[in-house]
Amino acid sequence: MKLNFLAMLLVSGMAAAACADSEGFILSHPNELKWSDVASLPPGAKIAVLEGVMNQAGPITARLKLPANYKIPAHFHPGIERVTVLSGTFNYGMGEALDTTQSKSLVAGSLIVMPPQMRHFAWTSEETVIQLNVTGPWGITYVNPADDPRKK
């Protein structure tokens, strides 16, 4: 019995050491995030990329900090988008145009998983932080091209 226990400790210790030594290990602390402006969203949003590169293939984990009274017009993405609300209230709706009366208020802990090309919009009434989990390259296409801040 002691031998089985020692073998189990040895194997689990080797597995833990392999995880700690493996390439690609990421440890992120909220106080160490580097926030920057997001050219593809209306002014005011900030992004911190925790994993990956937004315009390259591969897994991406990023956080978006949206100010109070912020609006993201109707848009869609080329791939599956997973959004987790970390703080604040993220008001989310589906459709071809931003309509605050046709949205659902999502609090911290809420999750949205959207298929590629799904038209949706969002807005906030308080500062809100969301986390995106996608496979890159990430992209955004506005339903109404005039809403695209990159074209202004």
pLDDT tens readout for residues 12-46: 333 333 334 457 888 988 889 999 999 999 999 99
> Which pTM does this prediction carry?
0.83
State percent of the chain over pLDDT 90.
Answer: 79
> How crowded is residue 59: how many other Cβ atoms within 10 Å of its Cβ?
11
- Report whether pLDDT(1) > 70: no
Q: What is the DSSP string of 13-67?
A: HHHHHHHHHSTT-----GGG---EE-TTS-TT-EEEEEES-TTSSEEEEEEEEE-
User: How far is it, in rounded angstroms, from Cα 24 to Cα 38?
Assistant: 25
User: How far is it, in rounded angstroms, from Cα 107 to Cα 84?
Assistant: 9
When mean pLDDT is compared across 4-8, 85-89, 111-115, 133-137, the lowest value belongs to 4-8
> How crowded is residue 90: how many other Cβ atoms within 10 Å of its Cβ?
26
| pLDDT-derived band at 9, boundaries 50, 70, 90 | very low
Domain locations in the chain as residue ranges: 32-151
CATH superfamily membership of 32-151: Jelly Rolls (2.60.120.10)
β-pair partners for 4 = none
pLDDT digits (tens, 9 = 90+) for 125-150: 999 999 999 999 999 999 999 999 99
